[in-house]
Amino acid sequence: MGKRRPEVVVSPPFVFLTSAKSELRPEIQVAAQNCWVKKGGAFTGEVSAEMLANLGVPWVILGHSERRALLNETNEFVGDKVAYALSQGLKVIACVGETLEQREAGTTMEVVAAQTKAIAGNYFKTKLASTVCQKSKILFYL
């Protein structure tokens, strides 16, 4: 069995995705820093999973701590975003982690478990409903 090579992924801002993709060596992939939770609609400034797929961007990073804190993205909302991105054929890097206050309160494991559970629960619901997810990939970033 051959040796597996690590996948290398960089994540420039959206406006630089296509130029980064064309300038990088072929074995280096690009990731979007975010995408919207569903198809279509008037969501000014948001980037859809379909747009990323059309650009040939294979990865997206979801669940950033600042989006959770500043934009009130809940665990369930992040789980929905992950499930939808996977259903569109994207690979996902899911960010999970605690705030400083949660760490100091000793609730890190509970916080991370709840975040992971929301993502996994939506992933399995989507996987059961769609054969597209059979080749899905989720990486967790803590």
Q: How does pLDDT run across 37-55, given as a tens digit for each residue?
A: 988 766 888 999 999 999 9
Query: Is the pTM for the entire model greater than 0.95?
Result: no
CA distance 141 to 94: 6
pLDDT band at 135 (very low <50, low <70, confident <90, very high): very low
Residue 131 confidence (pLDDT): 38
Three-state DSSP class for residue 49: helix
Q: How many CB atoms lie within 10 A of CB 62?
A: 28
What DSSP character marks residue 131? G
What is the arithmetic mean of pLDDT over 58-72?
A: 94
Residue in the structure block whose two tokens are 């804190």: 69
